[in-house]
Homo-oligomer: A and B are copies of this chain.
Amino acid sequence: MNSTSAPDPESAKVAVACCQIAPRVGQSDHNIGLCCDAIRTAAAQGARVIVLPELAQSGYVFNDAQEARSVAQTADGTALTAWAALAHELGVVVVAGFCELAQSGELHNSAALIDASGVRAVYRKAHLWDREKEIFTPGSAPPPVVNTAYGRIGMVICYDLEFPEWTRLAALQGAELLCVPTNWPRGAPAPAHERPGEVVRVQACASTNRMLVAACCRVGHERGVDWVGGSCIADADGYLVAGPLDGESVATIVAEINPADARNKWISQRNHVLQDRRPALYSGLAQPDN
């Protein structure tokens, strides 16, 4: 195994990559290979943490649940097996989306966090977008946060990011880097001189939590759908250190980030972004009548 040893916990920088690729719906073997190529390319550029899009293994625009089921895989299927072998070989962390067939028989829009030791966590998207509601069962487990050789890494998927409640839970669990596989469908264009709202929300997620965020979108016209692209990496102040990419480019962005930045939650002598929360006043957020 070529894995580098664990970095100095206080100061080591880590190169993080987002691989904005163009999967093809339903072509699982093709897409798994595409992901492997992207992982090798990113690792060759020095990346130690490599983020791929949502449903990178399966493509996104399914005609129906039956089609999704036909390409769904369990967590020990060919996709995660191939990516785990590569993570082991290269000594990297991979976060990538796949169409998951659960033991229960249900389908989930999932992402795996894989390191040199294998699959460390599988996360099932909790906030489903549009027709996903007809195909997938939403997850009910919080975003996992995993200790890796390159820092504590959390995962959410695409529309999850629009619920600051959800990303806050990852931060409260100590996520230093939040990896966000996405497939942001392109809607109305942003006004001139405006970044896409998706990117703005990445930035705000990063700064309100002082958490590094790497969001990886896809490209490639698929059954009438185009994509924002917008893959980007934000620092703990919410400023972009890589990206945003456009919605046409197959490209890999790499940025050096420092997980220690995310462990320092102080933003003034007296202000800590998590300790300043007033949880006793937030019970309304958890009330179903809302």
Give Cα distance in the complex from A166 to B280, angstroms: 12
Give Cα distance in the complex from A268 to B132, angstroms: 12
Given A279-B286, A284-B142: A207 in contact with B203 (beta carbons within 8 A):
no
Knowing that A131-B270, A286-B286 touch, tell me 14 more A-B residue pairs with CB under 8 angstroms: A126-B281, A130-B270, A162-B273, A163-B278, A164-B208, A165-B282, A166-B282, A169-B282, A197-B237, A200-B200, A200-B238, A201-B204, A279-B290, A285-B286
Given A130-B268, A130-B271: A197 in contact with B190 (beta carbons within 8 A):
no
Query: Which of chain B's residues have a CB closer than 8 A to the CB of A278?
Result: 126-127, 138, 140, 163, 166
Question: B200–A269 contact, CB under 8 A?
Answer: no
Most buried by B among A131, A164, A240, A282: A282
Which listed residue, B270, B273, B279, touches A287 by the CB 8 Å rule? B279
Question: B208–A203 contact, CB under 8 A?
Answer: no
Contact string, A255-290, partner B, CB cutoff 8 A, digits 1/0?
000000000000011110110111111111111101
Is the CB of A133 closer than 8 A to any CB of chain B?
yes
Give Cα distance in the complex from A203 to B238, angstroms: 13
Tell me the minimal C-beta distance from A14 to chain B in angstroms: 20
Interface residues of A in 197-220 (CB under 8 A from B): 197, 200-201, 203-205, 207-208
Tell me the minimal C-beta distance from A150 to chain B in angstroms: 24
Contact string, A16-37, partner B, CB cutoff 8 A, digits 1/0?
0000000000000000000000
Query: Which of chain B's residues have a CB closer than 8 A to the CB of A277?
Result: 127, 163, 165, 290
Give Cα distance in the complex from A270 to B159, angstroms: 13
Question: B163–A285 contact, CB under 8 A?
Answer: no
Which listed residue, B165, B190, B200, B279, touches A204 by the CB 8 Å rule? B200
Query: Which of chain B's residues have a CB closer than 8 A to the CB of A208?
Result: 162-164, 201
Tell me the minimal C-beta distance from A211 to chain B in angstroms: 13
When C-beta atoms are compared, the residue in chain B nearest to A133 turns out to be B270
A interface residues with partner B (beta carbon < 8 Å) = 126-131, 133, 138, 140, 142, 159, 162-166, 168-169, 172, 190-191, 194, 197, 200-201, 203-205, 207-208, 237-240, 268-271, 273-274, 276-288, 290
- Which 10 A-B pairs give the minimum distances between C-beta atoms? A204-B204, A164-B164, A130-B268, A283-B286, A282-B286, A172-B290, A165-B282, A197-B238, A197-B207, A200-B203
Tell me the minimal C-beta distance from A130 to chain B in angstroms: 4
Question: A130–B269 contact, CB under 8 A?
Answer: yes
Which listed residue, B168, B238, B271, touches A164 by the CB 8 Å rule? B168
Query: Which of chain B's residues have a CB closer than 8 A to the CB of A194?
Result: 239-240
Question: A268–B129 contact, CB under 8 A?
Answer: yes
Give Cα distance in the complex from A126 to B194, angstroms: 31
Give Cα distance in the complex from A203 to B128, angstroms: 23
